[in-house]
Amino acid sequence: MEELSILIVMVAALLIPLVMARFNISSVPTAVAEIVTGIILGKSLFNVVTTTEALSLMSTLGVMMLMFLSGMEINFDLFKKQPGAAPNPKSPVNLAGQAFGLVVVSAAILGIILNQLGLFHDILLATILFSTVALGVVIATLKEKEILGRPAGQTILLTAVLGEVVPMLALTLYASINGGNASQLWLIVLLFLAAIVLLRRFKQPFIWFNKISKATTQLDIRLAFFLIFILVTIAEQVGAENILGAFLAGMVMKLLEPSEATQEKLTSIGYGFLIPFFFIMTGVKLNLRQLFANPRALALIPILVVCFVLAKMPAMLVFRRRFNRRNAFAGSFLTVTTITLVLPSLQVARNLHAITSTQSDAFVLAAVIVCIIGPIVFNSTYKLEKADLIKQRVVILGANTITVPIAQQLSKNWYVIRMVTDNEENYKTFNSEVQDLAYLAKVDETTLDQGDYFDTDILVVAFRNDRKNARLALLAKKHGISRVIASQENPNADQRQIANLKTAGVEIFNSFNVTTSVMRSMIESPSIIELLTDTEAGLFEATVRNRRYAGQELHTLPFIDKITVSRIYRKHKPISPHGDTILELGDHILFTGAHADAESARDELRRKN
């Protein structure tokens, strides 16, 4: 019977996504579908799956892998403060912090109300449960909406991160206090110290691991599981919850900067194998017959659903400071989704005998319900704003006959272009041709900072003075701009200056080198000038981020007949593309095609999901 139960669960894990795809069920998270399937297979209905030691082990590994992958989803770059930059009260970090602060207050008030009504007596546990957010569900929904990297998406994401990290730490404190280990709380510091030591220890070796890793060794994956088990073991030894150790392991792995391929393999192991055991077995353990036989517990379900929703609604007051009312409501309703941390929290509470099984089942059902309605309401309510459609923000310092046409062309493709010049004559000449051209009598750190010109994705420095360009480019890198392009036109340029720029990560542009390269290409390949000057077609590049195309052969791409792939760079090494070339995440593809078709193909390849 034990082997049969494992087989049934594995078959169910395979069939669930197939059935959802067949009937086009996209609004319901897969995790919720797995829990519902577990309810059908478990004691609530058919009772064909029983809880065995092997299934319990797989379920435990599943929740640890879920917490590990959640830790890897945190984008630590959002927390980095730009040197010299003034605090921005409307930044995603600040808005998320304020929004979650209101959520905690609301959750505590609701916990007190339930206590006064005699419906649920543990105020602290209620606060923890009502303030949790299902980070995995939120990320998946934002990716499908394609706003994960936009201001709205980042704000909602960071709110969800806090909704997972803070309750997890609170759960650890709750378990220690109620488990009689309050005097050993200081030992939890050892867990964080261990995480820091592991990060420092493997920061440099991890680069070496990637170089020597083979298909038969998979050192990156072995390191990931080593981090999970060592931090989970330390967590249990110091009295913390194992999910906190797994979450910290994910954060350490993220800070090691794994490749896209490594993240894809870990995601495949987690969501493709281990995590479904956790969600399905959660449904199997639910006893709805017992729940429905208890009118008091049954009445608790709609009350808990309302509490889960009301706890998150105050976040809308903060979101409205930056987004319109409709999207602020949608974003706050998405944070209502709460399943991933609720389940282990209830398990901890049951182990401590702080909650009855009937109350636990009522919380799980309420969490399942809000996990269904949260993404549905968000997808039907949220409407893309102009800021969501913008591809990248570009600041160009220097208005001249080279930069102005570039600004005009990019502006047509949803790039936000801002230009600056310190030449009053050029300002008068080009002001009518560029949407956002500013004249600054002096271009330095102070004036650029006051104009928020360092708040951009790409900064191009294209004055006629190479030294000035180099100084401003290094200043831009100091302010944390990821891509800085500097013009260096002097053929006798100071090589030390060029070396300093390249060391700082500045990209060098030289029109003389470009001209000679084009001339050489025209001699070697006469058709190259047609490609470069054709207004209907062009040369494009894209990095494969869409998991849908990872593992596919090049000739199977749905848009391959509309583009021509000329080169693929994999791990900075060029490979010649063929029809049977298998794409991998992180591949950098160069291709040509008509602008409309190529733009569509590039968006498809770059879309994160």
For residues 184 and 570, the model is more confident at 570
- C-alpha 336/C-alpha 233 separation (Å) is 32
Instruction: Count the neighbouring beta carbons within 10 Å of the beta carbon of residue 328.
Output: 22
Residue 66 or residue 14, greater confidence: 14
How far apart CA 99 and CA 358 sit, in angstroms, is 32
With beta carbons less than 8 A apart as the criterion, state whether 601 and 593 touch: yes
pLDDT tens by residue, 209-234: 766 766 677 888 998 999 999 999 99
Q: pLDDT at position 16, please?
A: 93
* Residue 19, CA atoms < 13 Å, CB-side half-sphere: 11
Say if residue 517's pLDDT is above 80: no
Q: What is the pTM of this model?
A: 0.67
Range of weakest confidence among 7-16, 87-96, 364-373, 475-484 = 87-96
The backbone torsions φ and ψ at residue 543, rounded to the nearest 5 degrees and listed phi first, read -100, 130
List phi, psi (to 5°) of 395.
-115, 130
CB-CB contact of 127 with 108 (8 Å): yes
Find out whether 290 and 119 touch, Cβ atoms under 8 Å.
Answer: no
Given a contact cutoff of 8 angstroms between Cβ atoms, the answer to whether 194 and 206 are in contact is no
For residue 577, is pLDDT > 70?
yes
74 Cβ neighbours under 8 A, 6+ residues apart: 161, 250, 251, 254
pLDDT greater at residue 193 or residue 538? 193
| 217 vs 535: CA distance, rounded Å | 49
**C-alpha dist (Å) from residue 57 to 62, 225, 230:** 9, 16, 17
pLDDT at 14: 94
> Tens digit of pLDDT for each residue in 408-419?
878 776 678 899
| Spatial contact of 85 and 479, defined as CB atoms under 8 Å apart | yes
Query: Does the structure show a pLDDT above 50 at 191?
Result: yes
Q: Is the pLDDT of residue 11 over 50?
A: yes
Residue 8 has pLDDT above 50, yes or no: yes
Cα separation values, 152 from 142, 214, 247, 452, Å: 10, 40, 25, 19
Q: Is the pLDDT of residue 185 over 70?
A: no
> What does the pLDDT average to over 560-582?
81
Mean pLDDT is highest, among 219-228, 496-505, 567-576, for 219-228
Query: How does 159-192 read in b/e, with b if 16+ C-beta sit within 10 Å?
Result: bbbbbbbbbbebbbebbbebeeeeeeeeebeebe
Average pLDDT, the chain: 83
| The pLDDT value given to residue 533 | 57
b/e map 535-549, b = 16+ CB within 10 Å? eebbebebebbbbeb
> First CA to last CA across the chain, in angstroms?
38
Each residue's pLDDT tens digit, 31-86 = 888 888 999 999 889 999 988 999 999 999 998 898 898 888 777 766 665 544 44
Least confident of 111-115, 255-259, 293-297, 331-335: 293-297
User: What pLDDT does residue 525 have?
Assistant: 62
Task: Please tell me the predicted confidence (pLDDT) of residue 83.
Answer: 47
Are 135 and 168 in contact by the 8 Å Cβ rule? The answer is no
DSSP assignment of 577-596: --TTPBP-TT-EEEEEEEHH
pLDDT for residue 79: 64
Task: Tell me if residue 575 falls in helix, strand or coil.
Answer: strand
The predicted pLDDT at position 85 comes to 47
pLDDT band, residue 334 (cuts 50/70/90): very high
Which residues are CB-contacts of 609 (< 8 A; sequence separation ≥ 6)?
Answer: 143, 144, 546, 547, 548
Could you give the domains of the chain? 2-77+92-184+248-385 (1.20.1530.20), 390-517 (3.40.50.720), 534-606 (3.30.70.1450)
CA nearest 408: which of 375, 384, 435?
Answer: 435
Per the rule left: phi > 0, alpha: psi between -120 and 50, beta: everything else, 437 is beta
| Residue 144 and residue 609 in contact, taking contact as beta carbons nearer than 8 Å | yes
pLDDT for the residue numbered 414: 66
Q: pLDDT value at position 305? A: 94
> pLDDT grade, residue 87 (50/70/90)?
low
Examine the pLDDT at 481 and tell me if it is beyond 60.
Answer: yes
Quote the DSSP letter at residue 28. Answer: S
Helix (H) or strand (E) segment spanning residue 65: helix 53-72
DSSP string, 426-474: HHHHHTTTSSSEEE-SS-SHHHHHHTTTTSSSEEEE--S-HHHHHHHHH
Average pLDDT over residues 85-104: 80
At residue 361's C-alpha, the angle toward residues 133 and 42, to 5°, is: 110
Residue 489 is given by DSSP the state: -
